[in-house]
Structure 1
């Protein structure tokens, strides 16, 4: 039985990592700058499934080839302020293999009570001193524990949007910003890299305008056709399997070059290989149905359920149109709406179902979502699903 080299889930490295050379080079440049005493801080942002976490993991993997660098990946959680505060500290101590008793002894000397590891539990209460000052001191202790003459500490925060949901947890970003500025000024070479959703920078700017001055944005785009082909052909070659060129083109078109969707399509295609160890358009058609079922269960059904009847008329129009991008006026006069489409379109963008690529122009979020809507069979006149 052949081993399927593709992944059906996000958040893990694919069996073969391709593309992202520019992004990795940019991260390495910022690392070199940080090592030379001019720290940089980056937020990698983009659509769901674009490969932000994979890029973060790949960067961390490549850091192992550099001397005097210490990286800590912190997958953020949706919790309260104290949960996140403690998570950051414990991840740093665990990953850097700092002597835990010695480390916590120093932390406690600062007057900061955090739960210890090994069954001993102290108060989670944030110290009476300013949390910003406390966090700065904690990072300073961590940095001074690094076994190097000129270390670079790299904090890798994954899924930054998880701490942006409310005012309380968002304080972490403000605290981190202040701590990084102060520590960098003191000659501590600490670099910050985070991943976030498409709208993360607007959300930060809306609530914490000063943070934009320190955290540089970097948009992660889709893979090119050649990169998609490479990501598929190299792993399957090892398994003595081949995909027809038409299949590769269909995978690229349907996935829009988004690695997560590409991996799901390739995974199901691999499961359908014929007796000749090939995937033709016949196998692809069966695989695409399985792929749509997976995506429907994971995200499309929930996404669609958030839409109103009037919004569904717009979705139906976009799904059934031969044009990828529709104008505002075309939607207004052809969607059979009971009101002006402005508010409806704005809501659909906010709900992550459509994209506004240019002024007065709108399109569905991706081709797989379009296929899902086509299969639903929405009635253009009523917005109801035809059963």
Structure 2
């Protein structure tokens, strides 16, 4: 059985690393239990392992008395849908009927969307969103048992509910509700994951949120962690990845767990005599690149403007890792300044500004995709 995963958001067969991150989350949980609630937003690019970290943290807390983790995978849509999501997941995790929760919530004067055939109308809360959320969480918290219980809300993909109302409004709603509940002695901890730019959005739109939502950037895995993540599950299936292959997967993936899993998955499928060597890596790499192109890279490229595609082509074709602002302008023979496009591309996570006036593509595999498929040559944009 192939022990690796070729999709994001799926827990790996072997979890490694993230010791510092789990320690940080545990410290915030312990602080919350002592009455000083903490709230954290874990951010980073797609595939960095945010969802898996939430799942692992939830798993560690399941057998701790008086601790109630509720993981809420957010869906694209209106922020109002979050009320039903919270109640549904809380009812499931706490093994309490949804009807019981809804009865308590509506008795508090909150009219919110219902599920499972209940008759209450699907109307927007009659109270303000922050008060509605506060009352919903209060009704959940009062159901918890044990001495000094802790409710931990794990919101996955926070940015999915932000576009509808904007960063400012969504975080204001969360902030106001959490502060009020914590002041009333309810030990509620909020943990969310978000895209690479989620915290810059917070700083741009709601400075006060910085004081309640602690930022934590999730970094790539180290070389040793990548080695464990590949070698241990492969060995468990009787397949050996040579050291050279593991080193190359680390270099190509740059420690991003999703990329590492895709590369290892296709390598494993090519194993000969229960071993994966350089030849097997070479044979499987086109399939890995094509999969990443279909699921991520092509969509990223197609959402870029013609001007941005020219810059992508220039960065892909140049052998250097970084290009300066001046080199980009001169390389494309631009008469106008490219600063607007470069800023937009950084915001879209197409490129990274490494230092003042120095730019590179977001990662090596994206560059490899551009060099291999050369989509910028199809319509003459480069």
Structure 1 length normalisation: TM-score?
A: 0.93
Query: Is contact 1:46–1:198 with CA below 8 Å preserved after alignment?
Result: yes
SS state at 2:341 partner: helix
CA pair 240-139 structure 1, distance change in 2 beyond 3 A: same
CA pair 306-105 structure 1, distance change in 2 beyond 3 A: closer
CA deviations 1:186-214 (Å, max 9, x no partner) are 11110000000010011123233322210
Unaligned runs of 5+ in 1: none
Query: Is contact 2:112–2:125 with CA below 8 Å preserved after alignment?
Result: no
Does residue 292 of structure 2 align to residue 295 of structure 1?
A: yes
Query: Is contact 2:83–2:112 with CA below 8 Å preserved after alignment?
Result: no
Query: Is contact 2:48–2:257 with CA below 8 Å preserved after alignment?
Result: yes
Query: Is contact 1:247–1:284 with CA below 8 Å preserved after alignment?
Result: yes
Structure 2 length normalisation: TM-score?
A: 0.94
CA pair 304-287 structure 1, distance change in 2 beyond 3 A: same
Q: Distance in 1 between matches of 2:54 and 2:265?
A: 23
Query: Is contact 2:354–2:360 with CA below 8 Å preserved after alignment?
Result: yes
- In structure 1, the partner of 2:134 is 136
Give the alignment partner of residue 233 of structure 2, picking from 232, 235, 247. Answer: 235
Q: Distance in 2 between matches of 1:170 and 1:125?
A: 23
CA pair 127-375 structure 1, distance change in 2 beyond 3 A: closer
CA deviations 1:239-289 (Å, max 9, x no partner) are 111112221121111111100000000000000101x21111111012110
Kindly state the Cα deviation for residue 317 of structure 1 after the two structures are TM-superposed. 2.4
Kindly state the Cα deviation for residue 93 of structure 1 after the two structures are TM-superposed. 2.3
- In structure 1, the partner of 2:186 is 188
SS state at 1:165 partner: helix
Give the alignment partner of residue 14 of structure 2, picking from 13, 16, 32. Answer: 16
Taking the TM superposition and a 5 Å limit, the aligned residue runs for 1:107-118 are: 107-118=105-116
Unaligned runs of 5+ in 2: none
SS state at 2:70 partner: strand
RMSD (Å), alpha carbons: 1.9
Kindly state the Cα deviation for residue 224 of structure 1 after the two structures are TM-superposed. 0.9
Does residue 375 of structure 2 align to residue 372 of structure 1?
A: no
- In structure 1, the partner of 2:337 is 340
